[in-house]
Amino acid sequence: MAEEEFTPRVAGYDDTNRAFVQGFMARGTMTFPQGQRMLAGILSAKNGNRVDPQSVTLGQFESYIGKARAAVASLDFDIRRAKHQARRGEIYWAFINVADDPVSRFATVRTPAELSYIKRLLDAMFDDYNTPRMEVMAVDEAQALKKSRPPAQQRQSLGGQSTQAPSRRVDDEDEEGGGEEGQDTQAGPATAQTIDKGLKHSEVLGLLSSLLEQEWLELSEDGFYSLSPRALMELSEWLMDRYNDPEAEEKEWQRIKTCGHCKEIVTYGKRCAERDCILRLHDECEEDLFRSRREKKCPFCQTDWDGKHFVGERAVTARAAFQKGRERRGNGRRSNRSDLADAVSTQLQVAEEEEDEMEE
């Protein structure tokens, strides 16, 4: 272990700090109440008398976080803090590997077929179901299952010409000259990648629940899978590299968007009613921003801000067609997924058609 090398550099770093870092690494992600419980356990063990979790202050917790960050920095780890976009007031701290491509890091624990499924799932969230009209950035189970196998053209072609990407997105294998993703990405005929047969539906469901368990994904009450705060913290830069156009103008629509108030990534929040305006806000940031303003107008384009245009799954669930579908089933929320999926995809189709009409 490299511990001996770095611990002396952090002033006041003792056994309790060491235990905190180990506990945090094991968990991956933590809220303040979870941190209170962990620290109370550590301090109880040290002092030999029971420490009440409630007595652990935020200041104390943050001081442990600060020392942990200093201790792990030389190992290319960091601890970052983010709020939950949908659950007000919930703040997360996550243990982040800052060194390499976060998706390829899955390669050590996932099979190549699972890894390529995860990429297809991300493409579904941030490409297929993330258009200027409908920025859903989440998928339901049926949509996740649709991605179980790679597109046919990719599957059968064993030659070198399988990489014409329809969008501007660079094909995975070609990024950074390849080779560094921990897998055989050397071009050439019939590599492991080009004969990816995909996953069975049962394997997809198993993978999804494992990603939920590891807090990489979240599943909403309405049945949508989205990236967790932890995944967003780790992936946000990678997502921007992969899905955004570095050459785009400042006010041009991009797939990965940041909040106009706190500048963090937004996958769940509100958008300006003006479709061409790129202002996006987290729910909490919307409140913060307009609390101090006399008029509720978009600070970018001055359009009246109605707070009824959504980013994230509410772009679908707030729509009449989705709600009607739910009523038809007697409000049984997640009881019938396929009905739900139908309502969603119908809605998406309608949206795309409307979009086409507007462009013509």
What torsion do the CA atoms of 172, 125, 341, 270 make, to the nearest 10 degrees? Answer: -170
Among 39, 137, 231, 279, binds Zn ion (CB under 5 A): 279
| Nearby residues of 209 by Cβ (< 8 Å), 6 or more positions away | none
Interface with Zn ion (CB under 5 A), residue total 13
Which residue of 120, 257, 261, 271 would you call a contact of Zn ion, by CB under 5 A?
A: 261
Q: Which stretch binds Zn ion (CB under 5 A): 114-122, 165-173, 186-194, 259-267?
A: 259-267
Q: Applying CB under 5 A, does 274 fall inside the site for Zn ion? A: yes
Does 311 sit near Zn ion (CB under 5 A)? no
Of the listed pieces 114-122, 167-175, 296-304, 340-348, which binds Zn ion according to CB under 5 A?
Answer: 296-304
Which of 277, 316, 341, 348 is in the footprint of Zn ion by CB under 5 A? 277
298 touches Zn ion by CB under 5 A? yes
282 forms part of the interface with Zn ion (CB under 5 A): yes
Answer for which of 70, 91, 187, 301 binds Zn ion (CB under 5 A) is: 301
Phi-psi region of 51 (alpha: psi -120 to 50; beta: other; left: phi over 0): beta
Q: How far apart are CA 174 and CA 170, in angstroms?
A: 7
**Cα–Cα distance measured from residue 36 to residue 60, given in angstroms and rounded to the nearest whole number:** 9
Least distance in Å: CB of 264 to Zn ion? 5
Segment lying near Zn ion (by CB under 5 A), choices 14-22, 61-69, 74-82, 276-284: 276-284
Q: Which is nearer to Zn ion, 20 or 305 (CB)?
A: 305
> Within its chain, how far is the Cα of 198 from the centroid?
22
Cβ 288 to Zn ion shortest distance, Å: 8
Sequence-ordered list of residues with C-beta below 8 angstroms from that of 325, at least 6 positions apart, any chain: 339, 340, 342, 343
Which of 107, 262, 321, 350 touches Zn ion by CB under 5 A? 262
SS3 293: coil
CB of 311 to Zn ion, least distance (A): 11
The β-bridge partners of 91 are 83
DSSP state of 135: B
Name the 3-class secondary structure at 130: strand
Q: Smallest distance, Å, CB 312 to Zn ion?
A: 13
The Cα angle at residue 42 between residues 39 and 45, in degrees rounded to 5: 145
Residues that bind Zn ion (CB under 5 A): 259, 261-262, 272, 274, 277, 279, 282, 285, 298, 300-301, 303
